[in-house]
């Protein structure tokens, strides 16, 4: 069963318009948040399955309208 969080690899959503010069993070806070997340993984304070579970609990409309 596919849920809204399992869109990766599905067809019919069109091409991804990626610009080679586009920055990895559009805002400074995004880079800091990524660093904090990776730090919690490295320190063993959190892990991938916990992170995915937290994302899967998001309301589908909120998930689809979020940048990440």
Position 13 pLDDT exceeds 80: no
Rounded Cα distance, 36 and 45, in Å: 11
20-66 confidence digits (pLDDT tens): 898 889 899 999 999 999 999 999 998 989 888 888 888 988 888 88
Domain range holding 61?
Answer: 25-68
Rounded Cα distance, 47 and 24, in Å: 22
Report yes or no on 5 lying in a domain.
no
How many domains does the chain fold into?
Answer: 1
Report yes or no on 3 lying in a domain.
no
Position 1 pLDDT exceeds 70: no
What is the pLDDT, as a whole number, of residue 18?
Answer: 79
pTM: 0.59
- On whether the CB atoms of residues 64 and 4 are closer than 8 A, the answer is yes
User: What is the average pLDDT across 5-30?
Assistant: 82
Could you tell me which residues come within 8 angstroms of residue 44 by beta carbon, excluding any fewer than 6 positions away?
A: none
Report yes or no on 41 lying in a domain.
yes
């Amino acid at each position: 069963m596919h849920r809204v969080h399992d869109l990766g690899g599905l067809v019919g959503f069109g091409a991804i318009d990626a610009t080679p010069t586009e920055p990895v993070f559009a805002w400074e806070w995004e880079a800091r948040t990524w660093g904090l997340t990776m730090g919690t993984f490295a320190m063993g304070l959190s892990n991938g399955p916990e992170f995915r579970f937290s994302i899967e609990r998001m309301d589908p409309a909120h998930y689809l309208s979020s940048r990440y």
